[in-house]
């Protein structure tokens, strides 16, 4: 199984959620584009928080913490979708995007275009805040308009029943589980969340 983890925006909890999925599935991890924070990348966090055996190298490592298209311009490189290939592995694979669906990778393509190019299902991470219903529905609508399969939703943070219920009712997208708020993110807390997620995923058909 190969899954692309994206979010309804930035700082939604994609990396923590990716870590939980990696641990729950015993999966490999791949972050195609890392923009900034090269001293402690998202790949480094996955290594720190999980027992992932195969953290595959990024296709692009950019120095400036900003939108990938701008960070790439500063570094004098172009992010071309054809330069991003899924790593070869016999394990399940979690691929983590950057920001939300319409974060630009170059002056023509966004994250959603990369997902379409890689042709793998999406796990959408949603977190409650004022406006999150709108952002979640817009993200789902954009994926469906491109015929990109949505494997499911993961809610990150404290339960907000009224928000979550209307999202599920209006979209019909299955909920894979929840990643609870973590005071500290480490191997212990990620392993505990992964155990709960593993139970939820038992009831989800495993399709590539």
Indicate which residues carry an active-site annotation: 31
Neighbours of 178 (CB within 10 A): 20
Instruction: Classify 150 as helix, strand or coil.
Output: strand
Which is nearest to 61 in space by CA: 97, 99, 34? Answer: 34
Q: For residue 163, what are the contacts with CB-CB under 8 A and spacing of at least 6?
A: 128, 132, 133
Ramachandran quadrant class, 55 (left: phi over 0; alpha: psi -120 to 50; beta: rest): beta
Cα–Cα distance, 137 to 188 (Å, whole number): 33
Which is nearest to 33 in space by CA: 88, 90, 75? Answer: 75
Q: Residue 29 phi/psi, 5° resolution?
A: -135, 140
């Amino acid at each position: 199984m190969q899954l692309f983890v994206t979010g309804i925006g930035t700082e939604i909890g994609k990396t923590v959620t990716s870590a939980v999925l990696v641990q729950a599935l015993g999966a490999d991890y791949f972050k195609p584009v890392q923009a900034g924070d090269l001293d402690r990348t998202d790949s480094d966090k996955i290594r720190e928080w999980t027992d992932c055996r195969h953290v595959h190298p990024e296709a692009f490592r950019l120095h400036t913490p900003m939108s990938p298209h701008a960070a790439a311009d500063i570094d004098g490189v172009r992010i071309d979708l054809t330069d991003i290939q899924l790593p070869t592995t016999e394990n399940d694979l979690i691929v983590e995007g950057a920001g939300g669906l319409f974060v630009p990778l170059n002056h023509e393509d966004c994250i959603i275009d990369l997902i379409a190019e890689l042709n793998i299902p999406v796990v959408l991470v949603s977190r409650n805040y004022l406006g999150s219903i709108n952002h979640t529905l817009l993200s789902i609508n954009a994926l469906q308009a491109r015929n990109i399969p949505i494997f499911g939703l993961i809610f990150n943070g404290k339960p907000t029943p009224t928000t979550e219920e209307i999202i599920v009712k209006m979209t019909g997208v299955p909920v894979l589980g929840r990643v609870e708020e973590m005071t500290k993110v480490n191997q212990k807390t990620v392993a505990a969340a992964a155990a709960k997620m593993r139970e939820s995923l038992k009831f989800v058909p495993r399709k590539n």
